[in-house]
Amino acid sequence: MATTARTLPAERGRGGRTWYPVVALLLILLGVGIYAYLEELSEGMAVTGLRNLGPQGGATWGLYITFVIYFVGLSFAGISTAALIRLAKIDKLRPIVRMAELLTVICLMLAAMTIVADLGQPLRGIVNLFRYARPQSPFFGTFTLVISGYLFASLVYLYLDGRRDAAVRAAEGAPYRGFLRAWAAGYSDTEPERVRHRRASFWLSIAIVPLLVTAHSTLGFVFGLQVGRPGWYSALQAPAFVMLAGVSGLGMLIILAAIARRSLHLQARLGLPMFRTLGIFMFVSLLVYLYFVGVELLTNLYTGSVRERDVLRELLGGDYAWLYWSAIAGFVIAAALLVAWLAVQQLRTHIWPLVVAGVLVNLGAMAKRFLIVVPSQTEGQLLPYADGSYAPSWTEYAVIGGLLALGVLLFLGFAKVFPIIPLPEEGDDGKVVT
Amino acid sequence: MTRYGMSIDLDKCMGCRACMEACKVENSTPPGSFFMYVFRLEQGEYPSARVSFLPRPCMHCDNAPCVKVCPVGARYKREDGIVATDWDRCIGCRYCEVACPYGVNTFNWMDPAENTYLDYDDADVAAVTGGVVPPYRNPALEEPYGPEQRMIAGGGHSRGVMEKCTFCVHRVEDGLDPACVQTCPVRALTFGDLDDPTSAVSRAIQGRTGFRLLEEAGTEPRVHYVGGAAPGPEAREVDEPVTEV
């Protein structure tokens, strides 16, 4: 056990040559983001590109809300992986469960911060959202189910799942022993403890599976329930949110797993069968999502109201067409790549088609989130206001860039002090047959 | 039981926008913020183009989408039918703004004290004000109103909060008409108790054909339009959007 563990990423100094420049770059990005947010705090949200709907011809929700949805979408990865392992007994995915949970936790924290960045009165928001909470508002679900329930469940899962590794690492005398001891909290890897742990994680994963659907649906309802917004008001909004969350979350997980495999030299542990499982799940989600897109397009083209068609026209051939068709192209190319990967013998032994597809669907997801949020506000007014426009300001880009950098930093920081890939258990010698 | 409402006679409205002006003075709204907005619309092509006007206050809906979505109850419906915004509780999430089908909400993107029509530091302006005339603010807007005693009157209060037409709640509670109604030179606007069949607003609606805006959205607006017609899909706004905050 000790020899296997020593090659694992928790060892300090591994990958040191590229680690420090990368961290420095991320810190700079984070600094710029913090500066931009401080400017927004002192000058007001006038420094963003957001403006009022109607007479002011702007969009009042823009890049921030786009990324709130994107971040929450990515968090899909953690719970789905945990559930697949525990409930569907897909043990192949076990090596990436911690990475997936970490991705969920970090993305939910980023989403919460992005919401705060979008509030006109952030301090008042943090107090009043608890003090005067109204369950009738679809936002209530975003704060309770998504940010609190989902995040809490994922943290508990991450904690329980990591106790054994913490105990093992602490016993080996790894760095940050105090932290590892605190995490292990007396765990000593005896058989009854293992059984109890396995049972606890099993029931926890059953408990959090409903969250998978409800939490992502809640965010869809924020948009889908608005009768006054053509392009939002649709019963398909919530299911489509869940599916695109699945596509982007699994895509991001594939990217992260590929990076870990390469940089930590874990070709054996993170083997092809695991990537194949992830790839197939992503492929199926992507097909279902594309089907939803088609259904929505057909319905709106065939029977949409005048305003509904106005918004659609802007998407298909107007100001937003380049973004719309790029997103669709990204999804379709990703799907085609996955078909080729499944069908062609020579491609099947590579993981690059999966990584490329993962990148494409994530870029597509960002674009699609933007296209859900913005055009309905600038082009979808029900009263005859002139068409509006919205372009994010550098402040918004900088804040989002800073948040993304913070996410990567948290990920790297965690990987530095804790085994990002679970230590092999008995009967699992770290070699997975490819 | 008093249930306030408004009627707008489109046969009388001539698009002078005096109501918009009166509203701005009464409610101290910053530039780019219009509690009352008058559409100037054109339809058809030359030589058969036609111009029409459509005043648009807040509709004070009985089934208000903005009230439903507010996460903190800053937007609420009063007993007397007025949809009010508590600017002291609003957190600035702007959900009401995207939920409203009428586009009546206006957000303070910057501090209203720094966002005035006149630059009071400008030499030419200072020559007139003598540096001693501050920007005018209606003092009645800083008081709490209604049985709930909440801060709901007027606009231009603080940065990062939502504001909208209040039916001039500070005037109505004193028994006065809203500023737009008071000012309209052709009495196109009428305000009063829709539950009282003898009130001015009830009489203005009675026996007239009319409509309510976007009734199909199920919002149950309390503003009734009489005369004229709802703008069709081919109606275009003549004015460009006001892009400064």
Q: Taking the domains of chain A in order of start, what are their residue ranges?
A: 48-383
Residues B90-101 pLDDT 10s: 999 999 999 999
- Summarised one tens digit per residue, pLDDT across range B56-77 is 999 999 999 999 999 999 999 9
Q: Is the pLDDT of residue A2 over 50?
A: no
* Region of poorest pLDDT, from A244-248, A309-313, A391-395, B117-121: B117-121
Question: pLDDT tens for residues A87-131?
Answer: 888 888 888 989 999 999 999 999 999 999 999 999 999 999 989
Nearest CB to A46 within list B241, B242, B245? B245
| CB pair distance less than 8 Å for A55 and B236 | no
In this predicted structure, the answer to whether residue B137 has a pLDDT above a threshold of 60 is yes
Measure the CA–CA gap between B100 and B61, rounded to whole angstroms. 10
Q: Which of A60, A136, A222 sits opposite B97 (nearest CB)?
A: A60
Cis peptide before B47 (omega within 30 of 0): yes
Q: Which pLDDT belongs to residue A5?
A: 41
Mutate to test the interface with A, among B39, B56, B67, B107 (most CBs of A within 10 A): B107
Question: What type of residue is A131?
Answer: R
Chain A (104-133) residues lying within 8 Å, Cβ to Cβ, of chain B = 115, 118-122, 124-125, 128-129, 131-133
Q: Does A144 touch chain B (CB under 8 A)?
A: no
In a domain, B198, yes or no: yes
- B73/A contact by beta carbon, under 8 A: yes
pLDDT digits (tens, 9 = 90+) for A392-414: 999 999 999 999 999 999 999 99
- Closest among B214, B233, B92, B207 to A306, alpha carbons compared: B233
Tell me the C-alpha distance between A18 and A26, whole Å: 12
User: With contacts defined as CB-CB under 8 Å, which chain B residues touch A122?
Assistant: 91
Chain A residues within an 8 Å CB radius of B98: 53, 60-61, 226, 229, 377
The CATH homologous superfamily for domain A48-383 is Formate dehydrogenase/DMSO reductase domain (1.20.1630.10)
| Of residues B228 and A426, more confidently modeled | B228
More confident residue, B140 or A268: B140
Q: What is the pLDDT of residue A197?
A: 84
Looking at per-residue pLDDT, the higher value among A156 and B184 belongs to B184
Residue A348: DSSP 8-state: G
In a domain, B24, yes or no: yes
**Quick one: average pLDDT of A188-208?**
84
Quote the mean pLDDT of chain A: 88
pLDDT at B222 exceeding the cut of 60: yes
Report the C-alpha dihedral over residues B20, B24, B25, B26, rounded to 10 degrees. 90
Does residue B241 belong to any structural domain of this protein?
A: no
Q: What is the pLDDT of residues A221-265, one digit of tens each?
A: 999 999 999 999 999 999 999 999 999 999 999 999 999 998 888
Of A43, A128, A131, the CB nearest to B110: A43
Question: In this predicted structure, what is the pLDDT of residue B127?
Answer: 85
Residue B191 pairs with which residues in a beta bridge?
B6
| Mean pLDDT taken over chain B | 93
Could you tell me the CATH number of the domain that includes residue B9?
A: 3.30.70.20
φ, ψ (nearest 5 deg) of residue B234: -90, 0
List CB contacts (< 8 A) between B68 and chain A: 136-137
**pLDDT, tens digit (0-9, with 9 covering 90-100), for B142-160:** 999 999 999 999 999 999 9
Question: Residue B236 and residue A384: Cβ atoms within 8 Å?
Answer: yes
B98 vs A384: CB contact, 8 Å cut-off? no
Query: Is B161 close to A131, i.e. CB distance below 8 A?
Result: no
Residue B243 lies in a domain: no
Point out the residue among B41, B101, B235 whose CB comes nearest to the CB of A227.
B101
Q: Is A383 on the interface with B (CB under 8 A)?
A: yes
Whether the pLDDT of residue A306 is over 90: the answer is no
Kindly state whether B243 is in contact with chain A, defined as any CB-CB distance less than 8 angstroms: yes
Q: Which of A167-176, A323-332, B4-13 has the lowest mean pLDDT?
A: A167-176
Given a cut of 50, whether residue A429 has pLDDT beyond it is: no
Cβ-defined contact of B160 to A119 (cutoff 8 Å): yes
User: Contact B105/B169 with Cβ under 8 angstroms?
Assistant: no
CA atoms within 13 A on the CB side of A166: 20
Say whether A228 and B93 touch across the interface (CB within 8 A). no
Q: What are the contacts of A121-127 at 24+ separation with CB within 8 A? A: A121/B90, A121/B91, A121/B92, A121/B160, A121/B161, A122/A41, A122/B91, A124/B89, A124/B90, A124/B91, A124/B92, A125/B91, A125/B92, A125/B93
> Is residue B101, in this structure, part of any structural domain at all?
yes
**Residue B245 covered by a domain:** no
More confident residue, B72 or A305: B72
- Whether A4 has a pLDDT exceeding 60, the answer reads no
Contact across the interface for B105 and A136, Cβ inside 8 Å: no
Q: Which structural domain range is residue B68 located in? A: 4-235
Confidence of residue A47 (pLDDT cuts 50, 70, 90): very high
Best A124, A223, A377 member to test B by mutation, with max B CBs in 10 Å, is A124
pLDDT on residue A14: 54
pLDDT bracket for residue A15 (50, 70, 90): low
Q: Write out the two tokens for A202.
A: 């099993």
Non-local (6+) Cβ contacts of A253 within 8 A are A77, A81, A96, A99, A100, A103, A278, A358
Residue-wise DSSP of A108-147: HHHHHHHHHHH-SSHHHHHHHHHHT--TTSHHHHIIIIII
The single-letter DSSP state of residue A149 is I
In the stretch 156-185 of chain B, residues with CB closer than 8 A to chain A read 159-162
Q: Does B83 touch chain A (CB under 8 A)?
A: no
The pLDDT, as a whole number, for residue A121 is: 95
Instruction: List the single residue in B71, B100, B159 with the smallest CB-CB distance to A228.
Output: B100
Q: Pick the residue from chain B with its C-alpha nearest to A387.
A: B241
In contact, B157 and B37? CB cutoff 8 Å:
no
* Domains: count for chain B: 1
DSSP, residue by residue, A256-312:
HHHHHHHHTT-TTTS-HHHHHHHHHHHHHHHHHHHHHHHHHHHHHHHH--HHHHHHH
Compare all CA atoms of chain B with the CA of A50 and give the residue at the minimum distance: B109
Which residue in B92, B100, B236 is closest to A120 by CB distance?
Answer: B92
Does any CB of chain B come closer than 8 Å to the CB of residue A196?
no
A-to-B residue pairs, Cβ atoms closer than 8 angstroms: 180
Is the predicted pLDDT of residue B171 greater than 90, yes or no?
yes
pLDDT of residue B38: 96
